[in-house]
Amino acid sequence: MVICPFCKEENIDGADECEQCQQPLGFLSKPRTSSTIEHSLIKDRVYMLAPRKPLGVEASTPVGDVLRLMVSRAIGCIVVNDNGQMVGIFTERDALLRLNVDAALHATRPVRDFMTASPDTIEADAPIAFALHKMDVGGYRHIPVMSGPVASGGKVSGIVSVRDILRYITEDLMSLG
């Protein structure tokens, strides 16, 4: 319960305004950080992780060619495009779960058959905590970073991985001494 500081009415957690006096309560439910790391995750933005430039292939590219490209570049995620628009991503996890030991049998099939379609994305100016939350809830290890809102024609400008966030947290911890 949240007690309204204006009229002392009890309201449910997360209420935007008091049911009794209609005064705003949103400021009472904002998350409060309990550590320097939490504060940094909320304050710092995704672009500060220096997202890697995405490598992309067309959806019709044979999955065997995509796997060879990922191995040669030592990357765990590739953006799948159709006529210049991102339609999915193909990750190490997709290779393990969708190809597994049958990778050679499916090498000539298009990557679109094995990709993660319509992946979740994050905007470059979003807090790092948002990226971490999306990756945790969705179970992803990679998330495409958009140069602007998808609805406004934003394009994939980078890829952030769990490793990038762990590196950021480690550097933040090291700076504390």
Pair 30, 39: CB distance under 8 Å:
no
Is residue 139 left, alpha or beta, with left meaning phi > 0 and alpha meaning psi from -120 to 50? left
pTM to 2 decimal places: 0.77
- Token reading at 67: 């796997």
Residues paired with residue 81 on neighbouring β-strands, in sequence order: 58, 86
Pair 123, 145: CB distance under 8 Å:
yes
- Token reading at 59: 């959806």
pLDDT for residue 103: 86
- Cα–Cα distance measured from residue 111 to residue 59, given in angstroms and rounded to the nearest whole number: 6
Where the chain has pLDDT below 70, the residues are: 29-31, 149-153
In Å, how far from its chain's centre is CA 133? 8
Q: What is the per-residue pLDDT across 84-133, written as a single tens digit (0 to 9) for each?
A: 889 999 999 999 999 988 889 999 999 999 999 999 999 999 999 999 99
Is residue 81 left, alpha or beta, with left meaning phi > 0 and alpha meaning psi from -120 to 50? beta
